[in-house]
Structure 1
Amino acid sequence: MLKKLLPFEELVYRSTFTKEELIAHLQNEIEAEKSFGLGANRFSYSKPYIGKVYQNRFEIKKAINYRNSFLPVIKGEITDDINGSKINIKMGLIDFVKAFMILWLGGVSIACLAVLYNIIFGEGLNSETGIFMLIPFFMLIVGIVMVSFGFKFESRKSIIDLEEILKAKIVQ
């Protein structure tokens, strides 16, 4: 259950293509990123994924025309296998977003603990401060839902897309 909420995925695909064929195919299926991504410029891409391939590794993300800070970064490693190749995939958040959300959710969690302490050992909930004391809990729930939904919505699409792009099937 917890794994379904966390913003990461680890998958293994198998392809009948050799490692070299798959790397060449992958280079034709993705496009280089045109910008840093933080500016107001909107670029259009001719391919559905952007990123780079280097040796037997790649790092890609979906080329979208809307904002989603929780868009998965897909890192993969292609290795030779008995009848083709094996692709190990890790999807996760951008490092900056991951650090920001850890700090934000950590701070809000501490506030929730302080409120609980105050409720249990302090004056409890009263009509004047009761609703305001629930704000940290609301922020925690909204933050978790925002990260989970934003990431999982896109990762589910990418899992399916990767089968086509990699000419492979999920084995794990």
Structure 2
Amino acid sequence: MKYLPFEHLIYQTNLSEKEVIVKLSDYMQTKRNRFKFNGNPTKEYEGFINGNSFEINRIIKNRNSFLPQITGTIQRNNNETQIEVKMRLDWTVFGFLLFWCSLVIFFLIMTLTQSEISTDILLPFFMLLFAYLLTMLGFKIESKRSKKDLEKMLAAKIIKK
């Protein structure tokens, strides 16, 4: 998944399950309404905790449609706690990208079926490359930051990428 906007990680910590939940709660506030301004955020992340699972995302001052949506499950394993974390794009962003790239590919196929091939064929390739680079850059920069934050706040280390 190195070249896709998805991450699957397993963190390991000496904290108990309850301590992990408390630590997450310390860095997290409830999810804000997307369309309403709720003032300055007081924490670094927003989301919710439900039992031993959570869904969070980092609160940023600017806009980044490619901000990772982080889901995780907490489970005790021998004397240590493991936190399985998955980072992915928001479903609406992923759906839009899929739709947009499908249209570009459709027009690429239409261009290829013409009897004359010209330099017009390069435009769809550049559009697809631009979409890929923009998505990956926006996602990976934020996922890297979230990985470091999770390591710090949970006093954990990544045991599986």
Q: TM-score if structure 1 supplies the norm length? A: 0.86
Q: Structure 1 residues 93 and 43 mapped into 2: Cα distance closer, same or farther (>3 Å)?
A: farther
Tell me the residue number matched to 1:99. 95
Q: CA deviation at 1:73?
A: 0.4
- Contact map agreement 1:14 1:87 (CA 8 A) in 2: yes
Tell me the residue number matched to 2:13. 15
Please list, as runs of the form range in 1=range in 2, the aligned pairs for 1:17-56 lying within 5 A after superposition: 17-35=15-33, 37=34, 39=35, 41=37, 43-56=39-52
> Which residue type is aligned with residue 116 of structure 2?
E
Q: CA deviation at 1:40?
A: 6.7
Distance 2:89 2:10 in 1: 19
Higher mean displacement: 55-64 or 19-28: 19-28
Tell me the residue number matched to 1:82. 78
Tell me the residue number matched to 2:54. 58
Match of 1:147 among 135, 140, 153: 135
Q: CA deviation at 1:42?
A: 6.6
Deviations 1:34-90 (A, max 9, x none): 22x2x3737421211111111000000011000000000000000011122100000
Match of 1:138 among 117, 126, 131: 126
Question: Aligned to 1:171, what secondary structure does the other structure show?
Answer: strand
Distance 1:4 1:116 in 2: 31
Tell me the residue number matched to 1:162. 150
Distance 1:83 1:94 in 2: 34
Match of 1:4 among 2, 6, 9: 2
Identical amino acids, percent of aligned pairs: 36
Q: TM-score if structure 2 supplies the norm length? A: 0.92
Q: CA deviation at 1:8?
A: 0.5
Q: Does 1:116 align with 2:109?
A: no
Question: Aligned to 1:134, what secondary structure does the other structure show?
Answer: helix
Aligned residues: 160
Which structure would you say has the larger Rg?
1
